């Protein structure tokens, strides 16, 4: 039986891609941030998951405002990087797992999630930057991308996303193959990129979110979408993708690592790693 070994929440800031590509991660300005990811890189190297379910949002590369699925799941053998307007980044093509993806898709539909099935899918920085941060230049893991709409309102509710995570857990645990799976929820912490509140950040909101994500995620599902936007900025609604990750884990988890820095580019940046309690005792 497949098992979930843990979950990771991480920012997916687009400006980090060029920093990585230009070899600037160890400059004085950037070293403190990238050092914050060393513990999770060691954890992944030790645990060696076979598959990563990467929950992210597309930023207009493969989906746009005219056609924006609420939930889309990849079923492809590979996921190439796309051109977001400044050329295709020198990163690997992510390798998929069609057998698992089709199992997960059928399981999600049986769980009454109406999803868009993607047999071809290009991925942008929402997916690529976390892969760089977690596995650096070598990506020794198969992936299943799960794209959530946080661009075109109405976006899904925090509770619906948490339930999607629970459904993903059922999909994993009903899969016959003996594989280890890690769930990655991506997206910004507090930030707003436009309007009168452009540049808005909130350490208080981010800290409370990280605390509750670990100890009482149910309280985060009770917040409205407006509460996320009002408290942490318009683009911070991306935190519902972290909540999706948490829904896929057990109610009680062990925190492996937590890191936070503000600002990074135009956003606050965070990282958290949880192990399921049963896995932490293995």
Which ranges constitute the DSSP H helices of 23-182?
31-35, 38-47, 98-110, 125-135, 158-173
pLDDT digits (tens, 9 = 90+) for 243-263: 999 999 999 999 999 999 999
Q: Are 63 and 123 in contact (CB under 8 A)?
A: no
Count of CB atoms situated within 10 Å of the CB of 226: 9
- pLDDT value for 277: 76
Please say whether the structural domain 3-280 has been given the CATH code 2.60.40.10. no
The full DSSP string for 213-276 is: HHH-HHHHHTS-HHHHHHHH-GGGGGGHHHHHHHHTS-SSEEEEEEEEEEEETTEEEEEEEEEE
Catalytic residue of the set 125, 153, 194, 257 = 125
Q: Are 217 and 236 in contact (CB under 8 A)?
A: no
- pLDDT value for 266: 86
pLDDT digits (tens, 9 = 90+) for 219-250: 999 999 999 999 999 989 999 999 999 999 99
- pLDDT value for 279: 62
pLDDT digits (tens, 9 = 90+) for 108-151: 999 999 999 999 999 999 999 999 999 998 899 999 999 999 99
User: Which of the four pLDDT bands, split at 50, 70 and 90, describes residue 282?
Assistant: low
Q: Is 191 part of the annotated catalytic residue set?
A: yes
- pLDDT value for 280: 52
pLDDT digits (tens, 9 = 90+) for 27-47: 999 999 999 999 999 999 999
Q: Is 103 part of the annotated catalytic residue set?
A: no
Rounded to two decimals, the pTM is 0.96
**Overall average pLDDT of the 200-204 stretch:** 94
How far is the C-alpha of 222 from the C-alpha of 276, rounded, in Å? 23
The full DSSP string for 14-26 is: TTHHHHHHTT-TT
Position 264 pLDDT exceeds 60? yes
Position 281 pLDDT exceeds 60? no
């Amino acid at each position: 039986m497949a098992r979930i070994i843990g979950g990771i929440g991480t920012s997916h800031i687009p400006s980090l891609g060029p920093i990585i590509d230009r070899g600037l991660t160890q400059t004085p300005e950037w070293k403190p941030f990238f050092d914050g990811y060393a513990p999770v890189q060691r954890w992944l190297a030790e645990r060696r998951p076979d598959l990563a379910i990467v929950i992210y949002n597309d930023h207009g590369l493969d989906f746009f405002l005219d056609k924006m699925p609420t939930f889309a799941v990849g079923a492809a053998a590979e996921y190439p990087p796309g051109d977001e307007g400044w050329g295709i980044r020198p990163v690997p093509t992510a390798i998929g797992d069609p057998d698992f993806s089709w199992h997960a898709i059928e399981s999600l539909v049986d769980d009454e999630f109406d999803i868009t099935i993607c047999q071809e899918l290009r991925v942008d920085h929402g997916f690529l930057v976390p892969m760089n941060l977690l596995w650096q230049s070598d990506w020794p893991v198969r992936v299943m991308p799960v794209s959530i709409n946080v661009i075109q309102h109405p976006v899904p509710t925090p509770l619906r996303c948490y339930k999607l995570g629970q459904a993903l857990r059922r999909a994993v645990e009903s899969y016959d193959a003996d594989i280890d799976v890690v769930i990655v929820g991506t997206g910004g912490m507090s930030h707003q990129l436009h309007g009168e509140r452009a540049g808005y950040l909130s350490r208080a909101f981010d800290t409370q979110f990280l605390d509750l994500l670990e100890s009482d995620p149910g309280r985060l599902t009770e917040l409205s979408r407006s509460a996320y936007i009002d408290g942490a900025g318009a683009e911070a609604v991306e935190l519902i993708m972290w909540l999706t990750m948490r829904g896929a884990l057990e109610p009680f988890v062990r925190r492996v690592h937590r890191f936070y820095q503000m600002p990074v580019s135009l956003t606050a940046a965070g990282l958290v790693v949880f192990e399921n309690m049963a896995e932490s005792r293995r």
